[in-house]
Amino acid sequence: MPNYQGVWSLSTQYQNRTGWPVFVASLALFGGSDDSTTIDAFNLTTQGNAVDFGTMSTQRRLYGASGSATRALFGGGRQDSTNYRLIDFVTYESGGSTSTFGNLSSPGKLTIASASNGTRSLFGGGYVPGGSVYNVIDYVTIASTGNSSDFGNLTTQMYWPGALASSVRAVFAGGGDSAGARANTMGYVTIASTGNASDFGDLLETIYGLAGCSSSTRGLFSGGQASGGVSNVIQYITIASTGNATDFGDLTLADGGPAATSSETIALIGAFHPNNPEVDVVTIASTGNGADYGDLSVGKQNLAATSNSHGGLS
């Protein structure tokens, strides 16, 4: 039996999790990639490098991630020539390997965007290589397991949009269409209901591959692939209103498809390149450039991130 006296680091808590009643840290999870099934965990209250939280069921990329204060969900994606409909999940308090949650209602696809309000997770957009680009939004109830149901449609068919949510709204932004054209549009839905997305406003430029995250009031979209090349721009919106995005600051590196998640106060944005494990941090309520927060266990690319204390849970 471990000695529970004193203040523990995140890694010590994880090492002794079998004897500890609740995995108490405020955590950001960055999932696996083509080269790794490792789920990395960052403590959202203490700056530092990630520790090993557990493993995903498959090596895959370009999936969506979201969840609640208790569960993290990973849906869709691709590994080699295999497209996944799979949604799997892991429980924050226990860590370990993911378990099967269910399947997306639409065919296996990649470049999906996901966001949640802590009760429901939405998975929107995506495409099947050599096939269709989708405007479908799927949803699941996070506390249960099972296949997704149809929620409605995005404002247009899009692959690789970004997504974020408050407790009320989910916003999907940017993306690419079947002809490869980039969009600068944002659409929103009310998460507790079902229905098609409505126009929210415009991004600073046409772009796909954005990473979205938020506090309960402000949403950030970061990075992406614009017509002029990969972007280091962070832009923000006020989720409760509608309107165009505003410049927030810059990432330390430009990236065409980063991962991002947040607490109510800070956002972590990273997975810039398979050879660079750095993760940036910004304070959501202010504006400014990203700063180094810590490193992933290895460099990864085209993954997704979520946390147990992001804005949609407030």
Would you say 265 and 8 are in contact if contact means Cβ atoms under 8 Å apart?
Answer: no
As a whole number, the mean pLDDT across the chain is 91
d(C-alpha 41, C-alpha 121), whole Å: 20
pLDDT score recorded for residue 17: 42
d(CA 109, CA 106): 8
In a domain, 252, yes or no: yes
Q: Does 124 map to a domain?
A: yes
Task: Name the one residue in this structure whose structure tokens are 């149809």.
Answer: 150
As a whole-number percent, the residues of the chain with pLDDT over 70 amount to 92
Residue 21: pLDDT over 50: no
Say if 106 falls within a structural domain.
yes
The residues, ordered by sequence, that sit 6+ positions from 12 with a Cβ below 8 Å of its Cβ are none
What is the per-residue pLDDT for 25? 63
Q: What pLDDT, in 10s, does the model give residues 104-161?
A: 987 888 999 999 999 999 999 999 988 899 999 999 999 999 999 999 999 999 999 9
CA 66, 7, 73: angle at the middle one, nearest 5?
Answer: 10
Query: How many domains, the chain?
Result: 1
Per the structure, the complete domain to which residue 45 belongs is given by 26-313
Q: Check residue 10 and report its DSSP letter.
A: H
CATH number of the domain that 277 lies in?
Answer: 2.120.10.80
Structural domain includes residue 193: yes
Is 9 a member of any domain? no
Q: Check whether 100 has a pLDDT greater than 50.
A: yes
CA angle in degrees (0–180, nearest 5) for 130-134-138: 130
- Dihedral sign, Cα of residue 2, residue 7, residue 49, residue 66: positive
Query: pLDDT tens for residues 211-267?
Result: 999 999 999 999 999 998 999 999 999 999 999 999 999 999 998 999 999 999 999
